[in-house]
Amino acid sequence: MGYRYEVAIERLDVPLRVDKELARHVKETLGKVPRKMLSEMEKEAVQCPVLRKQVPFLQCYTCRNFVRRVRGMVHCKGDPLS
């Protein structure tokens, strides 16, 4: 199985703020992702089961607990973050 939580991805009208350092890291990690796809990801959020708050999807994507994204769901390991 490899994950503890299945978290639904929520579409937002207005994107949540993403730290500039995180945004730069994501752009470097994803390589040549089309700008349109990246802007769509910026308008998504998840209800993080570890932090117990809503976080931008890009923050979730870079988290060490992130396993995969499948059909509007994020699979999360759920390990504590230090």
| Domain spans of the chain, in order of start | 11-63
How confident is the model at residue 7, as a pLDDT?
A: 97
CA 21-40-5 angle, to 5 degrees, is 80
Please give the mean pLDDT across all residues of the chain.
Answer: 90
**Confidence band for 8, pLDDT divided at 50, 70 and 90:** very high
* 68-78 core/surface letters (b: 16 or more CB in 10 A; e: else): ebeeeebbbee
Write down the pTM of the prediction.
Answer: 0.85
| Ramachandran angles phi, psi of 74, nearest 5° | -110, 130
